[in-house]
Amino acid sequence: MNEILNVKNLKVYYYTRKGVVKGLDDVSFSLREGETLGLVGESGCGKTTLGMGLLRMPSPPGKIVSGEINIDGENIVPLKESVLRKRVRWEKISMVFQGAMNSLTPVYTIKKQMMETLQTHREMEEEKAMAIIKKYLNQVGLSEDILKRYPHELSGGMKQRIVIATALFLEPKVIIADEPTTALDVVVQAQIINLLKRLKKDLNLSFIFITHDLATEAEVADRIMVMYAGKIAEIGENHHIYGPQGPAHPYTKGLLGATPLLHKKVEELAFIPGVPPDLLNPPSGCRFHERCPVAFDRCKVEEPPLKEIEPGHFAACWRCFDE
């Protein structure tokens, strides 16, 4: 499959009064056309920072320090803000944010908000714009009657579907879904996940699906990218992470060990001891070594590269290379 997104050596730092927080430090990966890349890791590992960075919208005081973000063959990092707004955001890459209510203005109707987004990018008459809006509302399973309503009149699942429709109607090639099922009940979560899977198949979309839930990633993702402390720990196909052999990196193994399983009796859930490192002053060597059960001397002083350990499977762990 063709690459639709290619990220090279991306660094996003937060310049605070206490110092520089290395929220995203030298991250490189690619996304193929029609693929879903699952992005997992603990809170603070850089998942949302990566998502916002790909839009070139890191939260203040964050800045893109260096690197490339190539979308459809074009590096968007050096582009002017006016060009990004008109030609890149929501045209080539869009985002479904974590809190649907925070993405919608409470004092405007759904029609006004969707119309404003569409007409900002495309000069067209209201009648034509309405036809596009209704088309994508139908795609996400909503009727046009919802356009007259305000966000507070809708359920969480309905608001999330509106945000998804808004992310789709300019037909971008890459969709970033930042924990789109957070704060929804399990039935609505399943509906949203099934909706995203159907849209991917029907529209040949490429997704970056961010979540804490490894069980959800197993359901939706073709490849899994595990992040720890602003860096990539492991990338592999679904079967590399969830197959009989299991993941390679000790951190990924720890995450899976802490995941409840329905098909197997588990006496006690595993856990990863300690806490994530302070990114104001990250540890030397492998950033996971202070919490790693198999770390040795080299891990403490020398940072492991992200290296291919088998076709399509990459890990940043000295144990994976030495064994």
Alpha-carbon gap, residue 130 to 55, rounded angstroms = 26
Write the pLDDT tens digit of every residue in 201-243. 988 999 999 998 888 888 899 999 999 999 999 999 999 999 8
Can you give the three-state secondary structure of 228-276, one letter per residue?
Answer: ECCEEEEEEEHHHHHCCCCCCCHHHHHHHHCCCCCCCCCCCCCCCCCCC
Identify the pLDDT of residue 221.
94
Residue 306 pLDDT greater than 90, yes or no: yes
Alpha-carbon gap, residue 67 to 252, rounded angstroms = 26
Assigned architecture for domain 3-92+172-322: 3-Layer(aba) Sandwich (3.40)
Which DSSP state fits 104?
S
Mapped onto helix, strand or coil, the DSSP state of residue 301 is helix
Alpha-carbon gap, residue 92 to 31, rounded angstroms = 13
Write the pLDDT tens digit of every residue in 100-135. 677 899 999 999 999 998 988 888 899 999 999 999
Report the range of poorest mean pLDDT among 192-196, 248-252, 277-281.
Answer: 192-196
Closest CA to 207 of 96, 80, 282: 96
Q: Which residues of 258-267 are buried (b: 16+ CB within 10 A; e: fewer)?
A: eeeeeeeeee
Closest CA to 262 of 221, 321, 219: 219
Model confidence band, residue 322 (pLDDT cutoffs 50, 70, 90) = low
For residues 131-158, give the mean pLDDT: 92
Identify the pLDDT of residue 265.
66
Model confidence band, residue 189 (pLDDT cutoffs 50, 70, 90) = confident
Domain-wise residue ranges, the chain: 3-92+172-322, 93-171
**Sign of the alpha-carbon dihedral angle for 251, 242, 182, 198:** positive
Model confidence band, residue 18 (pLDDT cutoffs 50, 70, 90) = very high
| pTM greater than the 0.85 cutoff | yes
Q: What is the DSSP string of 127-181?
A: HHHHHHHHHHHHHTT--GGGGGS-GGGS-HHHHHHHHHHHHHTT--SEEEEESTT
Residue 7 pLDDT greater than 60, yes or no: yes
Write the pLDDT tens digit of every residue in 89-102. 999 999 998 776 77
Q: Which residue has the higher pLDDT, 162 or 264?
A: 162
Model confidence band, residue 261 (pLDDT cutoffs 50, 70, 90) = low
Percent of the chain whose pLDDT exceeds 70: 96
